[in-house]
Amino acid sequence: MSSLPHTLSGRLQAVAGVDPELRAATKPQFGHFQSNVALRLAKAEGRPPREVAQRLVEQADLSDLCETPEIAGPGFINLRLRTDVLAAAASEVRADPRHGVEPQPPQTVVIDYSAPNVAKQMHVGHLRSTIIGDCLARVLRALGHTVVAQNHIGDWGRQFGMLVEQILDEQLDVAALDLAGAEELYRRANDHFKADEAFADRARRRVVLLQSGDEETLAIWRQLIDISLAGFHEAYARLGVLLTDADLAGESTYNDDLPRVVADLEASGAAVVDDGALVVFVEGFNAPMIVRKRDGGFGYSATDLAAVRRRVGELGADRILYVVGSEQTFHFNQVFAVARKAGFLPERVQAEHVGYGMVLGTDGKRLRTRDGGTMKLADLLDAAEERAARPIALAAVKYADLSNSLVKDYVFDLDRMVQTVGDTGPYLQYAHARLCQLLRRAEAEQAQVGEAVTVLAEPAEQTLALLLTRFGETVAEVGQTLQPHRLCAYLYELAGALSVFYEQCPVLRSEGEVRASRLALCVTVRDVLAAGLDLLGIEAPERM
Ligand code: ARG
């Protein structure tokens, strides 16, 4: 089902030859949509705009969808959908288990998100990545795509040399640590590394041992991974996101691929040796990518090239999304450019960096704990749960993350976020719970709930019905643009239209067919709110 505005727009375009730029009418008395296309065409044609408007509406013949179009003022075309058409469209949304979300030609979409680092707690940046990635995964699955989540955890690299040495020095039982304990160990190892040159040397030799597969070193490294994963899992369970062990593809898993990456880069002529390091120059970047350092060590970029290769070659990606903070924009643009140049990333595969901004405190600075430390995910969720029950606190946090344009920094104002009024997650949950309550009362009164929406006499009912028919296209838009805030804005508008409807259209106090039809509308709005919240990764409780 193509949406009604889409169909109308297409019909007008066919006769006008240009996009009619259909807009929602500003007032109910103007109907549902307005177009100024006649004014634009009239100039070019040298004819009076009202005459052009008249000709367009006659040629377009919209009588199967609209009431007789009105030509208003200097030549605006006002369209009012026929209520039977609108009612049928809303009824379709009611009957459709997908509520108008249409499957698209299926793609394999790899989404790289969350990606915390071993022996460190997740911080707010990882929180954002996890929440945004989870939402995009849900939306793209709903659109019929195969989503492959890839949790690119930081589980490899130089820091493990000093971690392992510190553990051996302290004769520490790693298995007894939790993630917070591992993070303290990290800090001690780091201080030690800076203060003690002999320790630093041992740490460097330990990196070589790790990379060459020394069993004792690997065993300690694995223990660090295990306790970190336990901590990550706890965070995922707490957040209610879909990530599992099956989605893990940490940096270490690319170690064996790195020589192949280098060989391919050299064979394709993309890489050159510069001052002992292997680098790739790409046009448009002020610095080359360093693939292999002078000392033979591989860095973050090399691993990401290997990841592109695997995602295209083994996972069969048609599209790869990287949900990582905006501070890594340069890195990803460079990885994509180098991967294209080296032939790892064919033209038919789309690669997109879904960057996002910082989370700020109410003082406008980067969010910190009360004592000035970096804000850990657990601290943040604790703070939210001090203000509201768990599902509501989570809704507050997730919605705040998703409802702004991703690239913008946003202020983490918990007191505002947990309110059930305003543009918040709890407000949408509340709208849903209130509908559930109304429907429970309807059931208690044995009121008949219509299978279809049949009466749409009131403007408030029409607005609601029209919004319902836009759910599918809104979800499709999010899949395309990767902007979850559009879905948030849609749901917020829907909840707002619902309040106007409550004010102007009594439901249980109405009678007969009107009541059955209004109850059908209520059921559909409830279902769409629940489905929309689910796509945001937010629970929709039936009582609040
Ligand atoms: N672990 C990295 C960090 O915490 C994020 C990794 C993102 N994914 C990637 N393929 N580079 O900054």
Quick: pLDDT tens for 50-60.
999 999 999 99
pLDDT exceeds 90 at position 242: no
How far, in Å, is the centroid of ligand 1 from the Cα of 180? 20
- 433 and 531 in a single domain? The answer is yes
Show which of 81, 108, 138 is a domain's final residue. Answer: 81
Report how far Cα 499 is from the mean position of its chain's Cα atoms. Answer: 27
In a domain, 401, yes or no: yes
pLDDT of residue 27: 86
- 381 and 437 in a single domain? The answer is no
- 477 and 412 in a single domain? The answer is no
pLDDT exceeds 60 at position 1: no
Residue-wise pLDDT for 154-193, tens only, equals: 999 889 999 999 999 999 999 999 999 999 999 999 999 9
8 touches 62 (CB < 8 A): yes
How far, in Å, is the centroid of ligand 1 from the Cα of 324? 7
Least confident of 54-68, 243-257, 372-386, 513-527: 372-386
User: Which atom of ligand 1 is found nearest the CA of 117?
Assistant: 1
pLDDT of residue 5: 87
154 touches 493 (CB < 8 A): no
Half-sphere exposure of 449 (CA within 13 A, CB side): 17
Q: The pTM is what?
A: 0.95
Q: What's the mean per-residue pLDDT of the chain?
A: 95
Its ipTM equals 0.99
pLDDT exceeds 80 at position 435: yes
In a domain, 353, yes or no: no
How far, in Å, is the centroid of ligand 1 from the Cα of 356? 13
In a domain, 27, yes or no: yes
Show which of 81, 99, 128 is a domain's final residue. Answer: 81
User: Which atom of ligand 1 is found nearest the CA of 304?
Assistant: 10
Q: What is the mean pLDDT of residues 61-75?
A: 95
C-alpha–C-alpha distance, residues 74 and 32, integer Å: 18
User: Which atom of ligand 1 is found nearest the CA of 331?
Assistant: 11
How far, in Å, is the centroid of ligand 1 from the Cα of 24? 42
- 198 and 237 in a single domain? The answer is yes
In 370-408, which positions are buried (b, 16+ CB within 10 angstroms) versus exposed (e)?
A: eeeeebbbbbbbebbbeebeebbbbbbbbbbbbbbebee
pLDDT exceeds 70 at position 353: yes
What is the count of structural domains for the chain? 4
How far, in Å, is the centroid of ligand 1 from the Cα of 476? 27
* Domain boundaries, position 197: 159-244
> ∠ at Cα 541 (122, 539), nearest 5°?
30
pLDDT of residue 273: 94
pLDDT of residue 375: 84
305 touches 292 (CB < 8 A): no
- 405 and 476 in a single domain? The answer is no
Residue-wise pLDDT for 376-396, tens only, equals: 888 899 999 999 999 999 999
The binding-site residues of ligand 1, defined as CB within 6 angstroms of any ligand atom, are 112, 115, 117, 152, 154, 304, 307, 322, 324
How far, in Å, is the centroid of ligand 1 from the Cα of 326? 12
Name the amino acid, one letter, at 427: Y
C-alpha–C-alpha distance, residues 39 and 50, integer Å: 8
How far, in Å, is the centroid of ligand 1 from the Cα of 115? 5
Tell me which residue has its CA closest to atom 5 in ligand 1. Answer: 115
> ∠ at Cα 305 (304, 311), nearest 5°?
85
Quickly count: other Cβ atoms within 10 Å of residue 44's Cβ.
9
CATH number for position 42? 3.30.1360.70
User: Which atom of ligand 1 is found nearest the CA of 154?
Assistant: 1
- 183 and 220 in a single domain? The answer is yes
pLDDT exceeds 60 at position 84: yes
Residue to mutate (ligand 1; options 251, 308, 328; most atoms within 8 A of CB): 328
CATH number for position 473? 1.10.730.10
C-alpha–C-alpha distance, residues 20 and 1, integer Å: 21
Q: What is the mean pLDDT of residues 72-101?
A: 96
User: Which atom of ligand 1 is found nearest the CA of 125?
Assistant: 4
Tell me which residue has its CA closest to atom 11 in ligand 1. Answer: 304
User: Which atom of ligand 1 is found nearest the CA of 153?
Assistant: 1
C-alpha–C-alpha distance, residues 359 and 407, integer Å: 11
User: Which atom of ligand 1 is found nearest the CA of 325?
Assistant: 12
Q: What is the mean pLDDT of residues 463-467?
A: 96
Q: What is the mean pLDDT of residues 485-513?
A: 98
Quickly count: other Cβ atoms within 10 Å of residue 197's Cβ.
9
Show which of 59, 81, 103 is a domain's final residue. Answer: 81
pLDDT of residue 322: 98
What 3-state DSSP class applies to 510?
coil
- 394 and 494 in a single domain? The answer is no
In a domain, 502, yes or no: yes
Name the amino acid, one letter, at 483: Q
pLDDT of residue 370: 77
280 pLDDT band (50/70/90 cuts)?
very high
pLDDT of residue 2: 63
296 pLDDT band (50/70/90 cuts)?
confident
374 pLDDT band (50/70/90 cuts)?
confident
C-alpha–C-alpha distance, residues 434 and 336, integer Å: 47
Residue-wise pLDDT for 320-334, tens only, equals: 999 999 999 999 999
Residue-wise pLDDT for 497-508, tens only, equals: 999 999 999 999
What 3-state DSSP class applies to 482?
coil
- 430 and 528 in a single domain? The answer is yes
Counting residues of the chain whose pLDDT is more than 70, the rounded percentage is: 100
How far, in Å, is the centroid of ligand 1 from the Cα of 153? 7
What 3-state DSSP class applies to 331?
helix
pLDDT exceeds 80 at position 25: yes
- 413 and 432 in a single domain? The answer is no
Tell me which residue has its CA closest to atom 8 in ligand 1. Answer: 152
User: Which atom of ligand 1 is found nearest the CA of 324?
Assistant: 7
Name the amino acid, one letter, at 265: L
Tell me which residue has its CA closest to atom 6 in ligand 1. Answer: 115
How far, in Å, is the centroid of ligand 1 from the Cα of 256? 19
Residue-wise pLDDT for 94-147, tens only, equals: 999 999 999 999 999 999 999 999 999 898 999 999 999 999 999 999 999 999
How far, in Å, is the centroid of ligand 1 from the Cα of 342? 22
pLDDT exceeds 70 at position 230: yes
Q: What is the mean pLDDT of residues 303-309?
A: 98
